[in-house]
């Protein structure tokens, strides 16, 4: 494969509704789109979602990363070249995971198309088939907004919930009671605090005051306070889901002493692409640390499709899966038939128009710069 053009641009898609949690409020996507064209005229597409409060990235930092490494990346011709580049630039990717994620996904997509096979086969994995179960995510908003969201999920007969905590105890209790009132023997609830509390004692007292049972809480303390997070685990008995506190492979060193305390929220963009996400998931399995395949708010079907490859690869250690909101959240998606869950929160993998690469019929107006 010879790369002819390599391009990165901002991707802005308005949301159907404003989505809010303790760390941010969004009304449109904050994403970058990579488009890579071979000398055969084939194109690969990739997506990354920079987040200042997660990895310190912005749209501007993604563009700076692209400008710095464009001349190196355009020389990649094989999967081996790509893997070697990742290995030799680990620290650069650690600092710019969303930027590289977009470029890596586009390269994998193009490599698959050039070789006439899916990315899954290209990587030596089984083809993605079957059904995938997704989580209902409830953000912070007015009582009316919450009830509207909950009614939507109830209509789809979803039973796996993640509730974003507001820090206002009465309101959080009320929202928990509304979820618990759903008549389902399969009902399962986890919490997401988005770094609400500074001290373990605060988090423990608040969590104990909430209706139970819940099985885990995500990011109760300030980012990477592992000592404090262990205290929350011991004080509540809930597993701690790591999101902002786990962004690179080297952070495994904080988890090895008490692996049973942790769950890793594995978001492909946050981890710097699919190959690095697989590396982390496989090491988590060795340590018996379960994973949740997460999603950035506003992901298009590109990242939703990439996450299916990851879920298919690590299904034995998969606790839950987020994302696949498609046009439930976005006013439009990047492909005509978005990847999104339906009844019971399920998405069934369908054979698509083009099964090479990631098999997506991307339709996006863009001019690729020479």
Which of 86, 118, 150 is the endpoint of a domain? 118
| Alpha carbons 205 and 202: distance in angstroms, whole number | 5
Model confidence pLDDT, tens digit, residues 10-27: 999 999 877 665 556 678
Q: Same structural domain for residues 67 and 38?
A: yes
Q: Same structural domain for residues 255 and 217?
A: yes
What domain count does the chain have? Answer: 2
Q: Same structural domain for residues 113 and 149?
A: no
Residue 307 domain-assigned (yes or no): yes
Model confidence pLDDT, tens digit, residues 274-295: 999 999 999 999 999 999 999 9
- State pTM to two decimals: 0.94
Mean pLDDT of 341-363: 86
Across 204-280, the runs of DSSP E, i.e. the strands, are 216-218, 239-242, 262-266
Q: Same structural domain for residues 113 and 259?
A: no
Residue 293 domain-assigned (yes or no): yes
β-bridge mates for residue 45, sequence order? 35
What does DSSP say about strands 239-242 and 262-266: parallel, antiparallel, or unpaired?
Answer: parallel
Q: Same structural domain for residues 113 and 135?
A: no
- Residue 99 confidence (pLDDT) above 50: yes
Cβ contact 5:370 at 8 Å = yes
- Residue 328 confidence (pLDDT) above 80: yes
- Residue 346 confidence (pLDDT) above 70: yes
Which of 64, 92, 118 is the endpoint of a domain? 118
Query: 64: Cβ–Cβ under 8 A, 6 or more apart, which residues?
Result: none
Q: Same structural domain for residues 109 and 188?
A: no
**DSSP designation for 128:** P
Q: Same structural domain for residues 31 and 143?
A: no
Residue 355 domain-assigned (yes or no): no
Which of 118, 152, 177 is the endpoint of a domain? 118
Query: 247: Cβ–Cβ under 8 A, 6 or more apart, which residues?
Result: 54, 55, 94, 97, 270, 271
Model confidence pLDDT, tens digit, residues 242-251: 999 999 999 9
Range of the domain at 65: 3-118
pLDDT band at 28 (very low <50, low <70, confident <90, very high): confident
Q: Same structural domain for residues 89 and 198?
A: no
Residue 90 domain-assigned (yes or no): yes
| Alpha carbons 278 and 125: distance in angstroms, whole number | 11
Question: Helix (H, G, I), strand (E, B), or coil: what is residue 51?
Answer: coil
Q: Same structural domain for residues 240 and 109?
A: no
- Residue 136 confidence (pLDDT) above 60: yes
With tokens 């618990």, the residue in question is 180
CATH number of the domain to which 36 belongs: 3.30.390.10
Residue 362 domain-assigned (yes or no): no
Q: Tokens at residue 322, please? A: 């987020």
Q: Per mean pLDDT, which range of 15-24, 27-36, 86-95 is the poorest?
A: 15-24
Q: What is the pLDDT, as a whole number, of residue 22?
A: 57
Residue 369 domain-assigned (yes or no): no
Cβ contact 136:345 at 8 Å = yes
Higher pLDDT among residues 17 and 301, named by residue: 301
Q: Same structural domain for residues 55 and 196?
A: no
Q: Same structural domain for residues 182 and 66?
A: no
Mean pLDDT of 145-155: 95
Q: Same structural domain for residues 109 and 146?
A: no
Q: Tokens at residue 150, please? A: 């909950």
| Alpha carbons 315 and 160: distance in angstroms, whole number | 17
What does DSSP say about strands 3-11 and 14-20: parallel, antiparallel, or unpaired?
Answer: unpaired
Residue 52 domain-assigned (yes or no): yes
Instruction: Identify which of 323, 254, 347, 335 has the alpha carbon closest to the alpha carbon of residue 49.
Output: 323
CA distances from residue 141 to 135, 157, 178 in whole angstroms, order as listed: 19, 22, 15
Mean pLDDT of 330-348: 95
Mean pLDDT of 200-209: 98
Residue 359 domain-assigned (yes or no): no
User: What distance lies between CA 145 and its chain's CA centroid?
Assistant: 24
């Amino acid at each position: 494969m010879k790369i002819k053009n390599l391009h990165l641009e901002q991707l802005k898609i308005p949301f159907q509704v404003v989505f809010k949690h303790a760390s941010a409020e969004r009304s449109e996507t904050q994403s970058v789109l990579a488009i890579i064209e071979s000398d055969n005229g084939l194109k690969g597409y990739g997506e990354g979602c920079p987040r200042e409060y997660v990895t310190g990235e912005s749209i501007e930092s993604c563009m700076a990363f692209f400008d710095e490494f464009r001349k190196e990346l355009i020389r990649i011709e094989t999967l081996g070249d790509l893997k070697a580049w990742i290995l030799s630039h680990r620290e650069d990717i650690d600092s710019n995971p969303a930027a590289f994620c977009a470029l890596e996904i586009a390269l994998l997509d193009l490599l698959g198309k050039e070789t006439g096979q899916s990315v899954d086969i290209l990587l030596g994995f089984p083809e993605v088939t079957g059904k995938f179960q997704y989580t209902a995510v409830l953000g912070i908003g007015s009582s009316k907004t919450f009830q509207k969201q909950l009614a939507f999920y109830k209509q789809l007969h979803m039973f796996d919930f993640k509730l974003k905590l507001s820090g206002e105890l009465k309101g959080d209790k009320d929202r928990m009671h509304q979820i618990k009132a759903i008549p389902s023997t399969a009902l399962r609830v986890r919490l997401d605090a988005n770094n609400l509390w500074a001290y373990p004692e605060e988090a423990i007292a608040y969590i104990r005051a909430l209706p139970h049972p819940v099985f885990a809480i995500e990011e109760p303390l300030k980012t990477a306070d592992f000592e404090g997070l262990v205290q929350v685990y011991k004080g509540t008995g809930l597993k701690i889901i790591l999101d902002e506190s786990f962004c690179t492979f080297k952070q495994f060193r904080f988890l090895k002493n008490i692996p049973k305390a942790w769950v890793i929220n594995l978001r492909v963009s946050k981890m710097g692409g699919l190959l690095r996400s697989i590396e982390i998931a496989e090491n988590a399995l060795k340590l018996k640390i379960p994973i949740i395949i997460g999603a950035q708010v506003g992901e298009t079907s590109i990242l939703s499709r990439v996450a299916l490859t990851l879920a298919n690869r690590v299904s034995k250690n998969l606790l839950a899966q987020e994302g696949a909101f498609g046009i439930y959240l976005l006013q439009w998606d990047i492909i005509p038939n978005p990847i999104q869950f339906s009844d019971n929160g399920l998405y069934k993998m369908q054979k698509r128009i083009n099964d090479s690469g990631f098999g997506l019929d991307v339709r996006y107006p863009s001019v690729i710069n020479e």
